Amino acid sequence: MFVDSHAHLDSPDFQPDLEDVLARAQESSVEAILTIGCVGPDLRSAEDLLRLVERYDFLYASLGVHPHDASCFTESLGAELLGLVAHPKVLAWGEIGLDYHYQHSSPQQQRFAFRTQIELARSCDKPIVIHCREAEEEVCSTLEQEFSEDTPRAGVLHCFTADEATAARCLRLGFYISLGGILTFRKSESLREIARDLPENRLLIETDAPYLAPVPHRGRRNEPSFVVKVAEELARVRGTMREQIGALTTANFAQLFNPGRASSGQISD
């Protein structure tokens, strides 16, 4: 019924009780989770993540070098990643993008890692998962250079918090928009207005767990079962039922990421 299209299950926060976290997700009708592997200078963490998703039918992975870690990105790391991304349960490349809020890596390093990984993802036909913070204009213009209009399975802007114009530019290229816990925050009135009008065939929901827990869990550890709270808020904003939001975001997830291609894919759509 629900899909969490962006979580970080390899976070140390989940180490003590991951089994329980996953059990609660299943009890809450979360039928698939895309867990994001942020690859560092060596690929060990990515290999650990692949072992995790192999153990559970309803887990899938995405791999990429996050803009925070762009300083460690090299062409040879990209080539090694290309090998891992061929794993049948890796549905996407990312999260990649630009983050000018923290600038853990320089803008030049971030640009190089972003563009190179877009090209790598396209070379193996994977949608990209985009992280964008305080870099909307540059992310949009980069995507406009790299993607033509209505590109099928282009990717998703995760944890969307930008404005309507940014959404429109990315939608035009074929991107999906994923909404997370921020949608439930009291001050997110303008985001709720945008969410109300987004086309229903491009909507996804996510937790970004362990970060950004939705109300009423705000400030505590987030987990995939809380994606239901995002669905409830999105349903309220759009004047529909959470089951309907669950059904359409699950169908959109299947459309974009094609989990049926994964060897032990279970998503029903």
**Interface residue list for Zn ion (CB under 5 A):** 95, 131, 208
CB-nearest residue to Zn ion: 131
Round to whole Å and give the CA distance between 119 and 113: 10
Residue 95, preceding bond cis, omega within 30 degrees?
A: yes
Order of strands, sheet of 203-205, starting from the edge strand that comes earlier in the sequence: 2-7, 30-38, 59-64, 90-99, 128-133, 155-157, 176-179, 203-205
AA identity, residue 221: R
Taking a C-beta distance cutoff of 8 angstroms, is the pair 49, 62 a contact? no
Q: How far is the CB of 68 from Zn ion (least distance, A)?
A: 9
3-state secondary structure of 98: strand
The minimum distance between CB 129 and Zn ion, in angstroms, equals 8
Nearer to Zn ion, 131 or 169 (CB): 131
Q: How far is the CB of 94 from Zn ion (least distance, A)?
A: 9
Give the shortest CB-16-to-Zn ion separation in angstroms.
21
Provide the minimum distance between the beta carbon of 18 and Zn ion in the complex, in angstroms, as a whole number.
Answer: 17
Burial 132-168 (b: 16+ CB within 10 A, else e): bbebbebbbebbeebbeeebebbbbbbbbbbeeebbe
Q: Tell me whether residue 4 or residue 31 sits nearer to Zn ion (CB atom).
A: 4
